[in-house]
Chains A and B, each alone.
Chain A
Amino acid sequence: MKSEELAKKIRLHVLEMTSRAGSSHIGSAFSITDLLAVLYQDVLKVDAQEPDSPKRDRFILSKGHAGAALYATLAELGFFDRKLLETYYQNGSVLSGHVSHKNVAGVEFSTGSLGHGLPVATGLAYSAKLRGQAFRSFCLLSDGECDEGSNWEAILFAAHHRLSNLVAIVDYNKIQSLKSIEQTLGLEPFRQKWESFGWSVKEVDGHDHRALQEVLCRLPFESEKPNCLIAHTIKGKGVSFMENQVLWHYRTARGSEYDAAKVELL
């Protein structure tokens, strides 16, 4: 399966899952769909048949609120049955609104409170270095999440310890919970912040599969430095009326909105 095809399936699952559940964060999930599709199809060394292999690359979705997209990705890749997705957010399910690893194959780490993923991913990268292991540690963060100070503690640590096996990917859709990043707590000059902390930074169109494949297949970007990929994305990407709208951080597609979204995604 090509990553574009995987992305299409993820978006359809996410629409279905969030609509059935009446849950939020469809915009956040669509924002990272192409990133997840390329990561899981072309970059991460993970195997659905051996999800706990010690050699696997580690991937932490730190923006746990976009969990529907990760669950859909893992189901499509055979980590678990697609039918499980129908239970998302339902009473008695293992698939919670924010990512949880318990009884869900392929989920490395549970998140939901922002600013937790990067320190843990840093610990994993550091542990690989201590043990002389070759796996890489990836963490996907939201841009709003970069408000959390814990990330900057980890950013300092990773550079100090030259963790070139650590990859932070920021989903830079420029919208956070209530308003734009710019109107809330500005991050710019964002690239320079990471660079000045000692990271090697690249920027990419987070929806351009070929560009993503190219940049992520050339890790590490530099020796002796942790990697940051700033992925410029569009919140709600894939459904015209959801794109770049704060509203779709929370709103659930129902009725005619659901039908219209589905038509655009098919």
Chain B
Amino acid sequence: MRDAFIHELNLAAACDKDIHLITGDLGFGVLTQYEKDFPNQYTNAGVAEQNMTGLAAGLAMNGFKVFTYSIGNFSTLRCLEQIRNDICYHDLNVTIVSVGGGFSYGGLGFSHHATEDFSILRSLPGLSVYAPSCIWEAKELTKNLLGKLGPKYLRLDKSGMLSTRMDGETFSFEKVRDVSSGNLGIGSSADILLVASGGILEEALIAAENLREKRLKVRVLSVHSLKPFDVDGFLKRAENSKGVFSIEENVVEGGLGSLLSESLLESGVRPKFFKRFGIHSDSHTSVVGDQKYLRSQHRLLGEQITKSILDIMGVNRIHEKLAVLPVFEART
């Protein structure tokens, strides 16, 4: 994802001298070519994220299209008030980029787990929030962000598939993307709606396959834009689903799951089953492990999600009782 972002930025910077990338002294090997090609459109602000963000505001006030770049929480939480006051209140054209969303840098320890950014940044007035789920989405998103004014946040992830593009699909910016391989039409009913943001979509797709093996009709959505959120696109699918489940590598408080539950409650759509798959924890993760391992600790692997959904929907119990696979009836 990171490389796809930089690749697109490289292409755009060649034609637009107003593009300026500021790094907080991170991006070893990744930003090298960009720096070489566009030395006047690149600044290393040093390990000083508050100043990096203030500088970005100053540059944007003079017409630059600025990207701030760092990993984990450094470009976001470390300088949160600069994002709020300097960038958002002044409605400046700055894109804040964080590489290593969620547990991407799992083994580096809790300081490098970016697991609250959805919740915190989603609450900032004027800030758009994006999280691509695959390299194709990262590329398409970057292209679109280059053409969009105002404050933006882009969470990039180390995980994520090459592409979740469906046959013949053209990228719809800021719309939910239906990535169900079962080819369910928008209006058709499903037993289960899985909704994911970011690279963890890969777990949702694994869960979807497992659930389909149980003869359940499963639809999967990728939400690459948490804000603005395509409420209608989501609700259209949710209202035909028995169970709605959010999947995110973020704390459940305030993230994608909260966003979905807010949308459902406010619209009156009431799926029979609803659960937020995310980080439910009273403390930050101290156990060491890579992204997959840490997902497993939080029961976020595709297989774990599958089991949990089957439990919630009572499918396993029915199996035991009837010894046959149930097929949920479509809601009329």
Which residues of A approach B to under 8 Å, CB–CB?
A: 58, 101, 109-113, 115-116, 118-128, 130-131, 133, 137, 149-150, 153-154, 156-157, 160
- Against A, the Cβ 8 Å flags (1 = close, 0 = not) of B292-329 are 00000000000000000000000000000000000000
Q: Is B90 in contact with A154, judged by CB distance below 8 angstroms?
A: no
Contacts of B54 in A (CB 8 A): 116, 118-120, 122-123, 150, 154
Assembled-state Cα–Cα distance A226/B210 (Å): 63
| Residue in A113, A123, A160 with the greatest tally of chain B CB atoms within 10 Å | A123
Q: Is B58 in contact with A127, judged by CB distance below 8 angstroms?
A: yes
**A interface secondary structure, majority:** helix
- Against A, the Cβ 8 Å flags (1 = close, 0 = not) of B86-108 are 10011000000000000000000
Q: Is B50 in contact with A109, judged by CB distance below 8 angstroms?
A: no
Contacts of B58 in A (CB 8 A): 119-127, 137
Interface residues on B, range: 20 to 34
Q: A116-B85, A123-B61 are in contact. List 18 more A-B contacts (CB 8 A).
A: A58-B61, A111-B85, A112-B85, A113-B81, A113-B85, A116-B82, A119-B57, A119-B58, A120-B55, A123-B58, A123-B60, A124-B58, A130-B20, A130-B59, A130-B64, A150-B50, A154-B54, A157-B46
Assembled-state Cα–Cα distance A179/B82 (Å): 27
Known pairs A101-B90, A113-B81, A120-B57; A128 contacts B62 (CB<8 A): yes
Assembled-state Cα–Cα distance A111/B58 (Å): 13
> Which residue on chain B has the smallest CB distance to residue A121?
B58
Known pairs A120-B54, A123-B58, A128-B62; A153 contacts B48 (CB<8 A): yes
Q: Does B51 sit within 8 A of A, measured CB to CB?
A: yes
Which residues of B approach A to under 8 Å, CB–CB?
A: 20, 40, 43, 45-46, 48, 50-51, 53-64, 81-82, 85-86, 89-90
Contacts of A154 in B (CB 8 A): 51, 54-55
Report the minimum CB–CB distance from A132 to chain B (whole Å): 11
Contacts of B89 in A (CB 8 A): 110
Q: Is A122 in contact with B81, judged by CB distance below 8 angstroms?
A: no
Q: Is A127 in contact with B59, judged by CB distance below 8 angstroms?
A: yes
Assembled-state Cα–Cα distance A222/B45 (Å): 24
> Which residue on chain A has the smallest CB distance to residue B55?
A123
> Which residue on chain A has the smallest CB distance to residue B54?
A119
Q: Which of B55, B85, B86, B90 contacts A126 (CB 8 A)?
A: B55
Q: Which of A112, A119, A128 contacts B55 (CB 8 A)?
A: A119
Report the minimum CB–CB distance from B41 to chain A (whole Å): 9
Q: Is B90 in contact with A119, judged by CB distance below 8 angstroms?
A: no
Q: Which of A123, A153, A157, A160 contacts B57 (CB 8 A)?
A: A123
Known pairs A119-B55, A120-B86; A127 contacts B46 (CB<8 A): no
> Which residue on chain A has the smallest CB distance to residue B57?
A120
**B interface secondary structure, majority:** helix
Contacts of B40 in A (CB 8 A): 130
Contacts of A110 in B (CB 8 A): 85, 89-90
> Which residue on chain B has the smallest CB distance to residue A155?
B51
Assembled-state Cα–Cα distance A113/B86 (Å): 10
Q: Is B50 in contact with A124, judged by CB distance below 8 angstroms?
A: no
Assembled-state Cα–Cα distance A133/B61 (Å): 14
Q: Is A124 in contact with B61, judged by CB distance below 8 angstroms?
A: yes
Report the minimum CB–CB distance from B43 to chain A (whole Å): 8
Contacts of A116 in B (CB 8 A): 54, 81-82, 85-86
> Which residue on chain B has the smallest CB distance to residue A161?
B43
Q: Is B82 in contact with A157, judged by CB distance below 8 angstroms?
A: no
Q: Is B62 in contact with A153, judged by CB distance below 8 angstroms?
A: no
Contacts of A133 in B (CB 8 A): 62
Q: Is A123 in contact with B85, judged by CB distance below 8 angstroms?
A: no
A-B contact pairs, 5 of them (CB 8 A): A109-B90, A110-B89, A123-B58, A124-B59, A160-B46
Assembled-state Cα–Cα distance A113/B83 (Å): 12
Q: Is B86 in contact with A157, judged by CB distance below 8 angstroms?
A: no
> Which residue on chain A has the smallest CB distance to residue B89?
A110
Known pairs A124-B58, A156-B46; A119 contacts B51 (CB<8 A): yes
Report the minimum CB–CB distance from B19 to chain A (whole Å): 12
Contacts of A58 in B (CB 8 A): 61
Report the minimum CB–CB distance from B32 to chain A (whole Å): 20
Contacts of A120 in B (CB 8 A): 54-55, 57-58, 61, 86
Assembled-state Cα–Cα distance A154/B56 (Å): 12
Q: Which of B20, B46, B53, B64 contacts A119 (CB 8 A)?
A: B53
| Residue in B55, B58, B60 with the greatest tally of chain A CB atoms within 10 Å | B58
Assembled-state Cα–Cα distance A123/B276 (Å): 41
Assembled-state Cα–Cα distance A113/B90 (Å): 14
Assembled-state Cα–Cα distance A115/B57 (Å): 14
> Which residue on chain A has the smallest CB distance to residue B81?
A113
Assembled-state Cα–Cα distance A214/B155 (Å): 50
> Which residue on chain B has the smallest CB distance to residue A102?
B89
Q: Is A153 in contact with B59, judged by CB distance below 8 angstroms?
A: no
Known pairs A113-B85, A119-B53; A156 contacts B62 (CB<8 A): no
Q: Is B82 in contact with A119, judged by CB distance below 8 angstroms?
A: yes
Contacts of B64 in A (CB 8 A): 127, 130
Assembled-state Cα–Cα distance A156/B48 (Å): 10
Contacts of A156 in B (CB 8 A): 46, 48, 51
Contacts of A123 in B (CB 8 A): 54-61
Known pairs A120-B61, A127-B62, A130-B40; A153 contacts B82 (CB<8 A): no
Assembled-state Cα–Cα distance A84/B121 (Å): 35
> Which residue on chain A has the smallest CB distance to residue B87?
A120
Assembled-state Cα–Cα distance A137/B63 (Å): 15
Q: Is A119 in contact with B61, judged by CB distance below 8 angstroms?
A: no
